[in-house]
């Protein structure tokens, strides 16, 4: 998506190209600004994409700290308990 923006396409063009809404394009582009720690946490399932979008709005050091807190809080948990701890880590 970022490449298409650099080539002169706007968010509406991207939405049409990928078959998604403009808000989805904006949210996805927000993730590109996240630190590698946040991206890795999404990849591993430690945080959801929605949570990653929230984290991306923080300063880089705060992003890394929050990811570390969430990883520690959710270690060894699954299901609803994991989701609850993920939410509390962002709260």
Q: Tell me, what DSSP letter sits at residue 21?
A: -
Q: Are 14 and 25 in contact (CB under 8 A)?
A: yes
Sequence ranges of the domains in the chain: 1-32, 35-91
Q: How far is CA 28 from each of CA 5, 11, 88, rounded to the nearest angstrom?
A: 13, 11, 23
Where does the pLDDT of residue 15 fall: very low under 50, low under 70, confident under 90, or very high at 90 and above?
A: very high
Taking residue 84's Cβ as centre, other Cβ atoms within 10 Å add up to 13
* Helix (H), strand (E) at residue 23: helix 22-32
Chain segment 54-74, per-residue pLDDT in tens:
999 999 999 999 999 999 999
Residue 81 CA to residue 76 CA, distance in Å, equals: 10
pLDDT in tens, 25-61: 998 898 998 999 999 999 999 999 999 999 999 999 9
């Amino acid at each position: 998506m970022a490449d298409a923006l650099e080539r002169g396409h706007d968010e509406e063009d991207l939405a049409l190209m990928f078959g998604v809404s403009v808000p989805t394009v904006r949210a996805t582009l927000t993730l590109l600004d996240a630190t590698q720690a946040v991206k890795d946490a999404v990849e591993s399932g430690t945080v959801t994409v929605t949570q990653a979008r929230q984290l991306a709005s923080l300063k880089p050091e705060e992003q890394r700290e929050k990811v570390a807190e969430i990883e520690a809080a959710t270690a060894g948990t699954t299901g609803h308990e994991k989701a609850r701890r993920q939410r509390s880590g962002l709260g």
